[in-house]
Structure 1
């Protein structure tokens, strides 16, 4: 069995309740977005501030590499989610609200929702057992779309 299949199977064990799955369908991609936004908000050292790079741009490279190692389609889908996330972050950056403020509030709300979902599920979040599941959540979210669209991952 491929590593991605093992991880998704393990992750799915604590995501069976339909309400919890629905909560995760909203919260998981939102948390990915706002986590990038929070990291994006951390200032770079002086010599890099003249570029358009952010810590989020630098961090996303090994993250996407990890996804591509698990599965090409998952890596491509996560690249799409990353591009969309950076687009949303840029929109927020152009608004009167600071990116970090918006992202911090949404981060807290989405995690409260996820923990409520796990309370309903009656099982603890997977990442309590293995920190990798913080990255597997978005992959799991994409595989639901892949199944609906008959795409192999």
Structure 2
């Protein structure tokens, strides 16, 4: 088992209620999309912070599981395309739609944990803040009959 497995098991403990799980299926990816958009909207020396953000995220996942890191690549590409499309259609700067989206997602996730009756696992182990997307990936892998990422 990868180093990711025990973190996913720990994360799973506070994500068992069906409503909380459904909230996470929507809010977790949208929160990541919003974070990517926020990072894209900030530049340092003419370089968008999206690229260091993605590199750090992929490096983190690769340190836990190469399979998970590789599996996130198509999601990242799709999210970059979504951000570009929304930016083309929106008449406002990126941060103006991404920041409220992130806030809505965060409150939805907290609401899911209220329904769950458990404190979000990230409050007990801050390292788990990055595990949510991999937890969803694990659920997809299992549904398709694959081994854990």
TM-score bracket relative to the smaller structure: over 0.9
TM-score of the two chains, using structure 1 as the length reference: 0.90
TM-score (normalizing by structure 2): 0.92
In structure 2, the gaps of 5 or more residues are none
Once superposed, what is the RMSD of the aligned Cα atoms? 1.3
Within the candidate set 120, 129, 133, 2:115 is matched to 120
**For 1:1-153, what aligned pairs fall within 5 Å after superposition?**
2-45=2-45, 49=46, 53-95=47-89, 96-152=91-147, 153=149
Does the aligned pair in 1 maintain the 2:3–2:65 contact within 8 Å? no
> 1: CA distance between counterparts of 2:18 and 2:60?
28
Q: How many residues align?
A: 147
Q: Deviations over 1:121-153 (max 9, x none)?
A: 000111112222111000001111101111222
**Runs of at least 4 residues off by over 4 Å:** none
CA gap of 1:2–1:73, structure 2 versus 1, over 3 A, is closer
Segments of 5+ residues of structure 1 without an aligned counterpart are none
Deviation of 1:15 after TM superposition, in Å, equals 0.2
CA contact under 8 A between 1:27 and 1:114: conserved in structure 2? yes
CA contact (8 A) 1:92 1:98 kept: no
